[in-house]
């Protein structure tokens, strides 16, 4: 969305520049030629507006099965598997990396987002500071399709989520499970703590089913 707005601004700047350049030359042209040029300029402007304002077709999505060690449909197990549970705003997608045959999930890309943590429910990630979160899934280079684990969804910019994350040995954090991202139906930070989903996750954490595995501290901890 941000890139589309930027493209729109740049295109209108170019159209405006061409308009004034042509306008200076039109003064000396015949009336018919002036009319033709004006019509062409209007058509270009109309086409550009329609192209940029109308949403482009979304890429098709393919889902693949993951080897889950927990019941990803049970939020108590999901939060118990994760090291961190927090509310965050997704600011932008900053990276889409295609995996190789040596990876744990060959053929499945990894996406990295810049997020801003608003509130911590489990663990202490820095709030109001840009944080990078990675997740399995993204646009595949071979098919130009969005590849996701079953039960997962791509994160949307400028939306709020409750995210369950796990720390990696390099200090980074990754979405802990396919169902570890729950979008909140809110429009402001003030609505978050009063939402039912927020209250539900407070309860899930109290009743979490902890999974025994190696745990790593994130570089983003307070």
Q: Where are the domains of the chain?
A: 2-53, 61-206
Q: How confident is the model at residue 10 (pLDDT cuts 50, 70, 90)?
A: low
- Residue 173's pLDDT is 98
The owner of tokens 């990276």 is 95
Q: How confident is the model at residue 1 (pLDDT cuts 50, 70, 90)?
A: low
For residues 46 and 212, what is the distance between their CA atoms, to the nearest angstrom? 60
Q: What DSSP state is assigned to residue 190? A: G
For residues 196 and 161, what is the distance between their CA atoms, to the nearest angstrom? 13
Give the pLDDT confidence of 142-194 residue by residue, as tens digits: 667 888 999 999 999 999 999 999 999 999 999 999 999 999 999 888 899 99
Give the pLDDT confidence of 34-71 residue by residue, as tens digits: 565 666 666 666 655 554 455 445 678 888 888 899 99
pTM for the structure as a whole: 0.73
- Residue 14's pLDDT is 58
CATH class for the domain made up of 61-206: mainly beta
For residues 21 and 26, what is the distance between their CA atoms, to the nearest angstrom? 9
- Residue 101's pLDDT is 41
The owner of tokens 């306008």 is 23
Higher pLDDT, 22 or 133: 133
| DSSP letter for each residue of 75-94 | HHHHHHH-SEEEEEEEEEEE
Q: How confident is the model at residue 104 (pLDDT cuts 50, 70, 90)?
A: very low
């Amino acid at each position: 969305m941000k890139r589309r707005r930027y493209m729109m601004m740049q295109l209108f700047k170019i159209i405006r520049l061409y308009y004034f350049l042509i306008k200076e030359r039109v003064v000396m042209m015949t009336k018919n030629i002036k009319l033709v040029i004006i019509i062409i300029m209007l058509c270009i402007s109309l086409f550009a507006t329609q192209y940029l304002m109308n949403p482009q077709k979304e890429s098709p999505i393919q889902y693949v099965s993951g080897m889950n060690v927990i019941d990803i449909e049970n939020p108590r197990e999901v939060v118990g598997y994760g090291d961190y549970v927090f509310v965050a705003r997704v600011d932008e997608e900053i990276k889409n990396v295609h995996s190789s045959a040596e990876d744990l999930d060959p053929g499945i890309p990894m996406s990295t987002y810049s997020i801003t943590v608003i509130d911590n429910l489990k663990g202490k990630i820095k709030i109001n500071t840009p944080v990078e979160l990675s997740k399995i899934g993204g646009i595949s280079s071979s098919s130009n399709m969005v590849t996701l684990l079953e039960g997962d969804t791509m994160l949307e910019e400028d939306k709020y989520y409750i995210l369950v994350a796990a720390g990696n040995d390099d200090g980074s954090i990754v979405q802990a499970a396919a169902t570890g991202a729950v979008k909140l139906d809110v429009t402001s930070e003030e609505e978050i703590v009063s939402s039912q989903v927020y209250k539900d996750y407070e309860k899930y954490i109290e009743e979490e089913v902890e999974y025994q595995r190696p745990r790593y501290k994130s570089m983003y901890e307070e």
